[in-house]
Structure 1
Amino acid sequence: MKPNNHLERAELIAPDYIDAHGRPQRISMQTRERLLGLMSPWTDSASPLPPVAIFRQGEPQILSPVLLTAADWRLTSEAGERWSGRCAAGETLILPELPDGYHQLTLEYEAQGYSCCIIVAPPRCYEPAALLAGESLWGSCIQLYTLRSATNWGIGDFGDLRRMIVETAQRGGAFVGLNPLHALFPAEPESASPYSPSSRRWLNILYIDVSAVPDFQQSEAAQTWWRLEATQQALQAARGAEWVDYRAVTSLKLAGLRLAWRQFQQRDAETPEVAAFEAFIDAGGDSLLSQGLFDALHAEQRAQNAACHGWQSWPEALQHPDSAAVLAFRIERSDEVRFYLWLQWLAAQQFAACWRLCQQQDMAIGLYRDLAVGVARDGAETWRERELYCLEASVGAPPDILGPLGQDWGLPPVDPQAMEARAFEPWIALLRASMHDCGALRIDHVMALLRLWWIPQGESAAGGAYVHYPVDALLAILALESQRHRCMVIGEDLGTVPEAIVDKLRDAGVYSYKVLYFEQTSKRAFCQPTQWPRQAMAVATTHDMPTLRGWWRSDDLRLGSKLGLYPDKAILTGLYRDRLMAKKALSQTLLRSGALPPRQRYQRGGARMTRALSMAIMRYLAGTQSALLGLQPEEWLDMATPVNVPGTIDAWPNWRRKLSATLDEMFSDPKVEALLAEVNRSRKAVK
């Protein structure tokens, strides 16, 4: 018997798909067979039960074990309640009505024991009381590393986040949205993409506010190092740089944190801080230990060979986390491993303090985290969970209008069959880590719950196919964990969205993600404010798109052409033409909605992006019916340079561009004050 929501192997890989132009595209049998061969085979064995069965609350909880003879069954609820009985061959097993949660069914059959995880989930994800009451909320959406301040060490940190929380809340904001805070590669600081992390379970230690660490403050050695002229010069250079200098920042922070670590090691084992650290290690289990081991090993391997980029380039004996060589390293370098575990503890402590600050500020949502679609091929997560990933494939996107070559994100896909065989435990653990200390979770590329574009190793992005995932099971678990953590869910549903998932997401209480640029309804108009969906978050742009000023000036098209992203000049010409029409349509929509005064009429050839026009767009977005509105500081500051150019790796300094003003300068700017005050008034007026 296959588990509920299970996809047959033949159904896993779609034979065709509809492209961005609405045309059907056929996938070759060779590609389908090659991708199927990369997955783990379905190991049904002789079990009469599936590894997991998922039910929505209110549905009949019925199983049909594959039994040739009678069997005894026992059911234990998550709360410890027990039931038992006997099931005859061919008989349907009707379970007692179970509450939401994770329960365990065991079957004694032919002298062997078999088990099945029974998951009962609520119908919808959690929604904050303010949204259920009809309020329309807004907040700031930041790339944390871009923040400038007089106190950080060249990269935005959790100290800056505290300031951002207070300033946003004081102006009526209900949340601060964040880029993925996932663990990256301390030993390889230039691998800076938050969407290509080492692990999604743990945090990026570069966000630690080192100056706020008690053991840094109390360490005489650390304070002596801090006062050195060379230290201050390096700090000022990193802080004043236009782009984040990850190498310099990492060098500074690890130097200061190592001195603080020595101070921490002098604490008595009975102190609350040491006890809290040990409890953190125990709670983190194998996942945390593997993260510390990986970071320590990676640092050692990089010190020996600068060309070593991840575990796949390590000596064979170290490529397996359970090997004798790794165990020996763990014992011999235990202090180094514990140092990296301590850094994770510091990061978790400081982030939790930011969450508590949101609650103290009475923010209706508070922090909003971002979950990347995958992990790097050679990071800590694939090192520990190799059987969960198909390392000989990568995920991306097929060719479309804005990306005629397609996209290869370089991230190995999760094997859907391996996920099911483990009763979705990796998905559950990931959600629990991601929903900790926050009020909302944005799921990047939420269509991954239904399908992902897999690209076989060695093929171009166009040579892939869509692989399906058990969407109903994933959504049910998402709703269960969302309710338990009181964490709402926002799904980034941009691009080609299959009809099969639109209704499922809406019915499951997942909020849509509406970007201004994609809300053009005709050649002459954008969606009117009253027509924007309620169950959605409205934004002007995203980290993968140009800023408003950049979009208006077509900077993204010029830059993309320069970087070779648009090899077809006819397509590029068409994109310029479409952009010109879109600007005219947006201007006319702004006029009709009253967001733009009549005197600001659109001029042939394109009006300049002025402060008044930018304000009008913010005013228009603030008046939409969408429950949430996210505003980026880049728009407050009228910036043009993008933070990321999709499709590039070394051709553009992605994930490095800082804001053009410090937090002090930004929040003392009368224009920013006026904008946020007007947005706050407009959101309160939306009914």
Structure 2
Amino acid sequence: MTGLQQLYYLHGVGFDFVKYDGSYVVFDEVTRQTAIECCGVDPQNLHEVEKINFELDIAPWTRVVEEVTLGNSEHGKFVIKVHESHKYTGMSIKIPEIGIDTTVRLNEYPEVGDYVHDNNRYIAIEIDLGAMPIGYFNFSLEGAFGQVSSELWSVPKRCFNPYDDNTDKKPLGISLQLYTLKSDRNYGVGDFTDLKHLIELFAQQGGDFVLLNPLHLLFAEHPEEASPYSPSHRCLINPLYIALDDIEQWVGSDCVQRFALIADVQSEISMSETFIDYTKTSHVKYKLFRHLYECWRQKPYQESLLQDFIDDKKAALGEIILSQFDWFLQWLAFEQIASCQALCIAKGMEIGLVNDLAVGCTESGLEYNSYQSSFSQNANIGAPPDPWAEQGQNWGMPALNPVKVKQDQFRYFRSLVKSNLSQVGALRIDHVMSLRRLWWCFTKDEQDLGCYVYYPFEYLLAVLKIESHLHSAIVIGEDLGVVPPEVTRALEDSAIFGNTLFYFEKTDNGDFKPSEQLRKNALIMVANHDVPPFHGWWNGKDLDIKLSYKLIDTPQYEHLKCVRDTEKERLINWVSQHQVSNIDLNSPSQDVYQAVMFILAKSGSRLLAIQLDDLDLQEFPVNIPGTNKEYPNWRRKLNHELSELFTFNQNFIQQLNAIRKQS
């Protein structure tokens, strides 16, 4: 392997990939060199290339341990690297946090690898300490090589998952975009009190979990930047979700009384139209937030709890440029979502809230500024060419440098997982393939280029396994699209649920898969935020909307209508194959949807989610991929209030739940 080829490999720059159409693609030299340049390396500087290759490939063999040492919690196994002359010497091991202080003879443990450099042979030895608790522990080693220290990660084989093969439980959930909830007491954006109302209604009908959109911090100064998947910081919460009528337990009754006198809260409430006016809503809520904060400052109730919250967040995330007012809002937001999860458990839900972790952050946001050294230069993440975007997709979010993400014992990635698991019962990871590889988009001489770049998968997966157990929370990986086989195997072996959309579950000839062929260890849904809600899909309203917004022309519209008619026929055939005979092409969308869900409820898939939009008979999608300002993405509200929706769909939900409990 030449110096430059070795550099590509050590930095994770891909060599090839299989395109969606099955064709084999090899990345050219210009593309791979440009990817390396985005990592801050000059590929023309051969001395620098040689130096980096030594540091990443050879130097680790000359060090006993790296900054992070992976261990196996079941057997306490971990690997050290020593010069072969030390093989017959002793070594002391100290892990104070778990009471380990012992001495071992290195020759009593197996060699699991070796490396020769400058006529010196270095050997890898696997030490076995026996079962250890799960977690991150500081440990020190001392022997003939001197004294070294590291952080030992005691990693379980699998993520926390009480719904593994030894149980017949099949939880039923509901998925929603929180901001779409309609009520006569919020300010145009669904909030945590609306969420509590939904939890109570769904729990009454046997629901087990509530899958939310990402709740990440967006941009108060630019409220129209509304995509929850393009956040400012994924470890913080969008304050617009704070419910202003559920604050007394945190700010105190005196503060609430002062706030009521200063702010005419009721007069600001207005029922929103079909689409959210984020500028208006943000202006109103932030005006009220400031009034509330000023009232609280007059007599800071539970100020010590706020300070503890700030100290904990700064310890986990580092210094973030937030004012005391911003921290106050974050404190309220985290307390309110925690109270929502507590309500889920009190109402008997199996899982409770399911958080959603977006795949990236924006370059203009707080997260990027806090961890800028961990990112590449001039490279964004996206997707390779596919039938819907032959030129590929650039999502406009900066790409993490696969070498720099290891900095400070993977502190950045650990903070993301921990922050998003801390108040919920499960975490859905958007585009979970990013743990293994991401498509990078960059330019060279004004030409758009792209390739896959690979990440330290074993370490990122280890964080998920550890944190899921520390928080007793399950993990769901959104693995739609082209998934490398090693990712599929790793998710299965790690007890991480996949995420299946019924729309895309097809056989090779385009028919919908029989329900018995659906993946067992997966969350199955009919639709999500990137595809039309069922009512809109069945009635072709999504195509009408695209035509009305001039996203397609008339010939494209007519072609897509024909394609849709074929899909509907295939769906009716699928329904009839499952012994449902009263559904045909003329049936109302609601009847067809319920028939589909009843069939899916009987399938072997461990997790099933109703989409709230489908109960609402929603026509408008919340998002049309590939659009920005052409369509009002992330703004569409529900047609009905929650009480009305759950009353109307009560029998349907209860029947679904009964099927899940019996099948």
Cα distance between partner residues in 2 of 1:390 and 1:39: 5
Cα distance between partner residues in 1 of 2:472 and 2:445: 42
1:280 is matched with which residue? Answer: 309
1:366 is matched with which residue? Answer: 352
Offset, 1:282: 1.6
Partner deviation per Cα, 1:281-305 (whole Å, 9 max, x = no partner)? 12112566744x25xxxxxxxxxxx
Offset, 1:248: 1.4
Task: Tell me, yes or no, if the aligned pair for 1:523 and 1:585 is still in contact at 8 Å.
Answer: no
1:310 is matched with which residue? Answer: none
Structure 1 pair 137/87, CA: closer, same or farther in 2 (3 Å)? closer
Taking structure 1 as the reference length, the TM-score comes to: 0.83
Shifted more, 399-408 versus 103-112: the winner is 103-112
Structure 1 pair 415/529, CA: closer, same or farther in 2 (3 Å)? same
Partner deviation per Cα, 1:58-87 (whole Å, 9 max, x = no partner)? 568343425487596643254242335687
Paired letter, 1:223: A
Offset, 1:446: 0.7
2:619 is matched with which residue? Answer: 640
Task: Tell me, yes or no, if the aligned pair for 2:68 and 2:153 is still in contact at 8 Å.
Answer: yes
Aligned to 2:395, what secondary structure does the other structure show? strand
Partner deviation per Cα, 1:623-680 (whole Å, 9 max, x = no partner)? 22111111111111211100011111111111110111112322232xx122212212
Task: Tell me, yes or no, if the aligned pair for 1:40 and 1:418 is still in contact at 8 Å.
Answer: no
Pick from 111, 130, 139 the counterpart of residue 97 of structure 1. 130
Shifted more, 582-591 versus 659-668: the winner is 659-668
What is the aligned-residue RMSD (CA, Å)?
A: 3.1
Pick from 603, 607, 629 the counterpart of residue 608 of structure 2. 629
Query: Does residue 288 of structure 2 align to residue 256 of structure 1?
Result: yes
Cα distance between partner residues in 2 of 1:16 and 1:526: 31
Offset, 1:25: 2.1
Structure 1 pair 130/398, CA: closer, same or farther in 2 (3 Å)? closer
Offset, 1:15: 1.7
1:21 is matched with which residue? Answer: 21
Paired letter, 2:32: R
Pick from 169, 172, 179 the counterpart of residue 203 of structure 2. 169
Cα distance between partner residues in 2 of 1:208 and 1:625: 38
Pick from 247, 259, 272 the counterpart of residue 279 of structure 2. 247
Cα distance between partner residues in 2 of 1:460 and 1:541: 38
Cα distance between partner residues in 2 of 1:115 and 1:461: 47
Cα distance between partner residues in 1 of 2:390 and 2:484: 19
Offset, 1:557: 5.0
Cα distance between partner residues in 1 of 2:455 and 2:642: 42
Task: Tell me, yes or no, if the aligned pair for 2:538 and 2:589 is still in contact at 8 Å.
Answer: no
Task: Tell me, yes or no, if the aligned pair for 1:636 and 1:675 is still in contact at 8 Å.
Answer: no
Partner deviation per Cα, 1:493-522 (whole Å, 9 max, x = no partner)? 101112121111111101111101111225
1:318 is matched with which residue? Answer: none
2:660 is matched with which residue? Answer: 683
1:212 is matched with which residue? Answer: 246
Partner deviation per Cα, 1:516-560 (whole Å, 9 max, x = no partner)? 111122547312222222211110101011111232344445655
Structure 1 pair 555/668, CA: closer, same or farther in 2 (3 Å)? closer
Offset, 1:681: 2.1
Cα distance between partner residues in 2 of 1:142 and 1:386: 32
Task: Tell me, yes or no, if the aligned pair for 1:216 and 1:223 is still in contact at 8 Å.
Answer: no
Pick from 101, 117, 128 the counterpart of residue 82 of structure 1. 101
2:69 is matched with which residue? Answer: 53
Task: Tell me, yes or no, if the aligned pair for 2:8 and 2:14 is still in contact at 8 Å.
Answer: no
Cα distance between partner residues in 2 of 1:86 and 1:522: 57
The 5 Å alignment of 1:35-434 reads: 35-39=35-39, 43-44=55-56, 47-58=63-74, 61-67=77-83, 74-76=93-95, 78-84=97-103, 90=122, 92-95=124-127, 96-97=129-130, 99=132, 100-106=134-140, 114-128=148-162, 132-214=166-248, 215=251, 218-219=254-255, 222-227=259-264, 234-236=268-270, 239-267=271-299, 273-285=302-314, 290-291=319-320, 293-294=321-322, 337-434=323-420
Offset, 1:94: 4.3
Structure 1 pair 284/461, CA: closer, same or farther in 2 (3 Å)? farther
Cα distance between partner residues in 2 of 1:73 and 1:106: 8
The answer to which structure has the higher strand fraction is 2
Task: Tell me, yes or no, if the aligned pair for 1:451 and 1:466 is still in contact at 8 Å.
Answer: yes
Cα distance between partner residues in 1 of 2:402 and 2:555: 39
Task: Tell me, yes or no, if the aligned pair for 2:214 and 2:228 is still in contact at 8 Å.
Answer: yes
Task: Tell me, yes or no, if the aligned pair for 2:75 and 2:131 is still in contact at 8 Å.
Answer: no
Aligned to 1:474, what secondary structure does the other structure show? helix
Taking structure 2 as the reference length, the TM-score comes to: 0.86
Paired letter, 2:308: A
Cα distance between partner residues in 1 of 2:168 and 2:446: 47
Task: Tell me, yes or no, if the aligned pair for 2:163 and 2:606 is still in contact at 8 Å.
Answer: no
Paired letter, 2:565: L
**Percentage of pairs with the same residue:** 31
Paired letter, 2:66: P
Offset, 1:152: 1.1
Partner deviation per Cα, 1:349-389 (whole Å, 9 max, x = no partner)? 11111111011011111111111111111111111111111
2:44 is matched with which residue? Answer: none
Cα distance between partner residues in 1 of 2:82 and 2:435: 29
Partner deviation per Cα, 1:83-114 (whole Å, 9 max, x = no partner)? 35687984654432351322334456999864
Cα distance between partner residues in 2 of 1:506 and 1:647: 31
Cα distance between partner residues in 2 of 1:574 and 1:684: 42
Task: Tell me, yes or no, if the aligned pair for 1:130 and 1:364 is still in contact at 8 Å.
Answer: no
Paired letter, 2:417: L
Pick from 423, 448, 465 the counterpart of residue 437 of structure 1. 423
Pick from 617, 628, 634 the counterpart of residue 655 of structure 1. 634
Offset, 1:616: 1.6
1:330 is matched with which residue? Answer: none
Query: Does residue 517 of structure 2 align to residue 531 of structure 1?
Result: yes
Shifted more, 520-529 versus 150-159: the winner is 520-529
Paired letter, 1:267: K
Cα distance between partner residues in 1 of 2:337 and 2:31: 44
Structure 1 pair 222/62, CA: closer, same or farther in 2 (3 Å)? closer
Aligned to 2:150, what secondary structure does the other structure show? strand
Task: Tell me, yes or no, if the aligned pair for 2:547 and 2:554 is still in contact at 8 Å.
Answer: no
Offset, 1:565: 6.6
1:323 is matched with which residue? Answer: none
